[in-house]
Copies of this chain bind each other. A is one copy, B any other.
Amino acid sequence: MVTDYDIPAFFAEWSQLDQPAYLRFLYEFVPTIDPRKAVAGLCAEQSTAMWQRVGVVEDLRERFGAKVIRLEPVGDVAQGRWLVEIAHPHRNFGARLPNLLVAAAGEGTFYAPGVAAITLLDITFPAGYLAEFAGPQFGLHGVREQLQIHERPFFIGVVKPNLGLSPADFAALAFEAWCGGLDMAKDDEMQADTSWSTLRGRVTCVSERRQRAEQLTGERKGFIANCIDEVDRIPEQCHIAERAGATAVMISPVWTGLSALRALRRVSGVPVMAHFAGVAVLTRRPQGGIASALLTRLMRIAGADMIGFAGFGDRMQTAPDEVRANIHACLEPLGAIAPALPIPGGSDSAQTLAHVAQQVGHVDFGFIAGRGVFGHAEGPRAGARSIREVWTQLHV
């Protein structure tokens, strides 16, 4: 729809724009036509589509149009991949996550003529827009205060077997792991509110054992309860879990929706963890999608206090730089939005702790193990202890 004549009006100098009025969307894409024409069309498709009514002299692009502020090849032009940065006026949708994503990663983005493959790499937010989001209620520092854990990573264990145990048997496993040195036990993302292990029943059992473990060890202990459910039931599930003694709650924002996280943050009295189930569908493939670190940053903006994502293990099929970008997205300065606890995960155990700690390069992370604790040949107490012992050896 965009003609050669139309193209220049879709380009602007960033320095000439009213910067607080714009978000900046960064994409990598493969054009099948002149890149300038492709990105002009991309701007049209993701904003006004048409910028004047038939028979009316007007140009709605002035206030409502998305504009290209940077266009350059990635490496050699012959490779055919380009970077484009687009300034999009947030008056088009406001401080609403679903609407933001409809703009940045909706029909306009993925069906722009002449754009064969496109990845949303990043979104840059002006301070005024960010201020509309509360971000984490507790954040990294709040979670440290809650459990009184400082100057080391959090040791987190996903109770396994994750399906099929009675609440009492499940709680018994968590108890063993806490006694061995685990800081937080958690539900697997598959372990929800079922007839054979209700959320209330399970958390009640777990909390009784958790308090006992605190008495025995003299350490604070946490339990992250899985509240993944239909979106209109999540607030109630959160209240059930809190009343039963959960110290944190968890949902998976890809399948519940990111704004379910924002809504949960409003009602939760305990830290909220975001789990990465489904993230790979959006992020993995080389041909396009959304950068995982951007999703992590959006989860933080939406209010996650702890954010799980694919970690360093071979199983996770994720480059170390991508893992570090996710860690950075949890911790980097972001207006008044508090940092969140990054939890890179995937088949870790005492054997991988030194490597993970070295890859992370600091202590502000959650180290998470499932079978590494609960599948330990001598049981979960020994599994948790093995992790704490490695940490002690690393830091004497």
Q: Does A128 contact B (CB under 8 A)?
A: no
Residues A229 and B98 in contact in the complex (CB < 8 Å), given A190-B106, A194-B92: yes
CA distance A229 to B259 in the complex (A): 9
Docked-complex contact B287 and A228, CB < 8 angstroms: no
- Contact partner of A281 among B160, B192, B229, B282, CB < 8 A? B282
Residues of B within 8 A of A371 (CB): 1, 49-50
Q: Does A167 contact B (CB under 8 A)?
A: no
Q: Does A395 contact B (CB under 8 A)?
A: no
CA distance A280 to B94 in the complex (A): 23
CB of A393 to closest CB in B, whole Å: 24
Docked-complex contact B64 and A163, CB < 8 angstroms: yes
**Interface flags, A169-208, vs B, CB<8A=1, else 0:** 1000100000000000000111011111000000000000
Which B residue sits closest to A109, measured CB to CB? B280
Give chain A interface residues in 17-73, CB to chain B under 8 Å. Answer: 46-55, 60, 63-64
CA distance A47 to B284 in the complex (A): 22
Docked-complex contact A278 and B91, CB < 8 angstroms: no
- Contact partner of A189 among B96, B107, B195, B229, CB < 8 A? B107
Docked-complex contact A53 and B173, CB < 8 angstroms: yes
CA distance A161 to B188 in the complex (A): 47
Q: Does A335 contact B (CB under 8 A)?
A: no
CA distance A275 to B91 in the complex (A): 21
Docked-complex contact B163 and A379, CB < 8 angstroms: no
Give chain A interface residues in 243-299, CB to chain B under 8 Å. Answer: 251-252, 255-260, 262-263, 266, 275-278, 280-282, 284-290
Residues of B within 8 A of A233 (CB): 96
- Contact partner of A231 among B50, B108, B231, B255, CB < 8 A? B231
CA distance A336 to B51 in the complex (A): 45
**Interface flags, A213-234, vs B, CB<8A=1, else 0:** 0000000000000001111110
Q: Does A82 contact B (CB under 8 A)?
A: no
CA distance A161 to B255 in the complex (A): 32
Residues A108 and B54 in contact in the complex (CB < 8 Å), given A48-B161, A231-B263: no
Docked-complex contact A259 and B256, CB < 8 angstroms: yes
Docked-complex contact A97 and B260, CB < 8 angstroms: no
Residues of B within 8 A of A258 (CB): 255
CB of A314 to closest CB in B, whole Å: 8
Docked-complex contact A192 and B93, CB < 8 angstroms: yes
Q: Does A380 contact B (CB under 8 A)?
A: yes
Residues of B within 8 A of A52 (CB): 161
Q: Does A363 contact B (CB under 8 A)?
A: no
- Contact partner of A92 among B190, B230, B286, CB < 8 A? B190
CB of A310 to closest CB in B, whole Å: 7
Closest 7 CB pairs of A and B: A257-B257, A106-B277, A110-B280, A60-B164, A285-B285, A64-B164, A232-B263
> What are 16 A-to-B residue pairs whose CB atoms are below 8 Å?
A1-B375, A47-B163, A50-B374, A51-B161, A55-B379, A60-B161, A92-B163, A98-B231, A98-B255, A106-B252, A113-B315, A230-B263, A231-B260, A284-B288, A285-B286, A287-B287
Known: A49-B162, A96-B230, A285-B287. 6 other contacts (CB 8 A): A50-B161, A53-B374, A99-B229, A106-B189, A110-B280, A257-B257
